[in-house]
Amino acid sequence: MARQRRPPSPVNIKEDSPKDETETATADSRPPSPVNIKEDSAMDETKTATADSMHVAGKAMEAMSLWADANQRILGQLMELSAGAAKESARLYAELQQTTVDVLRETQATALRWQSTWPEALKDPVRFCQQTFVESVDGAQKAFRLVEGNAQAVARSAERWQASAEQAGRGIQETVKTTVGKMKDVYSL
């Protein structure tokens, strides 16, 4: 069964009538349509948003620059502290090593003296005991002086290192304080 097609329903089609020149002239002198006002407003908002974002980006870059500079100064101060600590450690090591060398020399000299006194020990044992006692006391006093000297060397080294650490700490504190002040200036404008 074949279906018959219906003709399309009539629609009100309005043909564009040609405009005359007077209508065109009056159309340009009319106030802007609401669509144009919305477009201009959107453009202004976009320009404002772009300017604001550029301002914020500029502030962020300035802040990053300030902190990078502060980090560089702080790292420099820490490097100076580390170099000072290494230098102080080397100085202390040299002092302790010199003391150790002195102790070894003294020990060797004492051993040679004891070796040369053995033949006399058989001839005069009382004198040998007295001499041994005197040298033992003398050796103990020298050992205590060396220990005291080492302790003083360590104490002096610790004092110098503490002074360096305090100076670096003050420098770092001043750097951070200055940077925070500059950051307040950046964000207060």
Contacts 24+ apart (CB under 8 A), 154-163: 154/92, 157/88, 157/89, 157/91, 157/92, 157/95, 160/88, 161/84, 161/85, 161/88
Domains of the chain, residue spans = 53-188
pLDDT at 90: 95
CB atoms inside a 10 Å sphere around CB 33: 9
> Could you list the pLDDT tens digit for every one of the 189 residues in the chain?
455 555 555 544 444 444 444 444 444 555 555 555 656 666 666 777 777 788 888 888 988 999 999 999 999 999 999 999 999 999 999 999 998 898 889 888 888 888 888 888 888 889 888 888 898 898 889 889 989 999 999 999 999 999 999 999 999 999 999 999 998 888 886
pLDDT at 36: 56
Which string of b and e fits 159-173 if b means at least 16 CB within 10 Å? ebbeebeeebeebbe
Rounded-to-integer distance, Cα 146 and Cα 157, Å: 16
